[in-house]
Amino acid sequence: MTGNVPSPGRILEIASGYWATGLLGVATQNSLFTLIDDGVDTAARLAGKTGMAERGVQSLLDGLVGLGLLRTHDGTYRNTPESELYLVEGKPTDISGFAQLKLAEMDKLAGRLEVFRAGGPTAAPMVEVADNPHWEKVVTAIAGLSVSAAETAAEVLGLDGRENLSILDVGGGSGIFSSVWLRLNATARVTQLDWEPINAIARRLLAQHSLADRFTCLDGDFHTVPLEAASYDVALYSHVAHQEGPEDNVAVFAKLRKALKPGGALVVCDYIVEDDRSGPSFPLLFASEMLLKSNSGGTWRRADYAAWLAEAGFEKISFHPTASPASLVIAH
């Protein structure tokens, strides 16, 4: 068979996707990308630093080259720009913890795929309870994903040049948006509304960056905690809409509109799919995560956000790409 016959290679890669999860998870568990960044750049040297067998390290390195996360040079290994930015520990954009979370979920996944037949979780949803130790790991693991989105939102809204901004971050998680914005604007103040265990994580991050004096928290469920009317210049709703159903999102948007000052802006950051559900790929794949872990969440279309925000009373709505798989919706 010759000519334009498609190769089965991509299907083989997808079917063997657990290899990629395992390779990346083990590599980050053993700080391989960080060690390579520090100049520990051969299989023998990495084996000596990690305590792994050299044969195992070599197979791991081969796999990471195959995944496009490492490149070779005269018998040594180098990080790619992608792994340099997102997999070296200590960088604000580090998401190596996310790879380890996915590795930990592998042994449970087969038994949980009944969700596709059932149409939702077959056990208590992980993302809808406050006192789950899961949050300590996941909130910090995904923080680096939002750095570029926070920078893009700040640029679109011109946040760095505005005086005495009052910002509300709903479901703020790690506080990463607050950290980025408060460093850009020396007079801004942020109030984060989230469950108490999560707010504690955010307070630690803001303290590490010497920003705690301009960061306060409201503890509780954002659905029910009252908000003072016309009090905020900017409200943020980042990576929350995918956990909520349509009616809940409309209700939250209406609540936030009342909390905004006249002319204030709502920033929504999330994985958004095209109206015909043709892409982008990661938001489409992420819908399965919500089927597995929430009762009514999903990855919603641009048209959904536009309709919900209009119903909530917003008049001007715009969409903005970021360097991450997430998009921004800004509404006035």
Per residue in 140-170, pLDDT tens?
Answer: 888 888 999 999 999 999 999 899 999 999 9
**Where exactly does CATH 3.40.50.150 map onto the chain?**
136-331
Instruction: Calculate the dihedral angle through the C-alpha atoms of 249, 255, 259, 265, rounding to the nearest 10 degrees.
Output: 30
Over the stretch 295-332, which tens digit does the pLDDT of each residue have?
A: 899 999 999 999 999 999 999 999 999 999 999 999 99
Alpha-carbon distances of 48 from 41, 53, 296, rounded to whole Å: 11, 8, 48
- Write down the architecture of domain 9-102 according to CATH: Orthogonal Bundle (1.10)
First to last CA, the chain: 58
pLDDT of 124 reads 64
Tens of pLDDT, residue by residue over 71-99, are 999 989 999 999 999 999 999 999 999 99
- Per DSSP bridges, beta strands 260-270 and 70-73 are unpaired
Pick the CATH number of 136-331 from 2.40.30.10, 3.40.50.720, 3.40.50.150, 3.60.10.10: 3.40.50.150
Beta strands in the chain, from DSSP E residues, in sequence order = 70-73, 76-79, 166-170, 189-194, 215-219, 232-238, 260-270, 317-321, 327-331
Enumerate the CATH 1.10.10.10 domain ranges in the chain, comma separated: 9-102
Instruction: Dig out the tokens for 52 from the structure.
Output: 């792994």
pLDDT digits (tens, 9 = 90+) for 24-40: 999 999 999 999 999 99
Question: Is the pTM here over 0.85, yes or no?
Answer: yes
Neighbours of 280 (CB within 10 A): 16
**Residue 259's closest CA among 279, 229, 235, 288?**
229
CB-based contact 279:246 (threshold 8 Å): no
* CB-CB neighbours of 16 under 10 Å: 9
Q: Which helix (H) or strand (E) holds 207?
A: helix 196-208
Burial of 75 (0-12, 13-18, 19+ CB in 10 A): exposed
Cα distances from 4 to residues 1, 7, 179, 259, in angstroms, run 9, 9, 51, 58
At residue 248, the pLDDT reads 96
Q: How far apart are CA 169 and CA 206, in angstroms?
A: 14
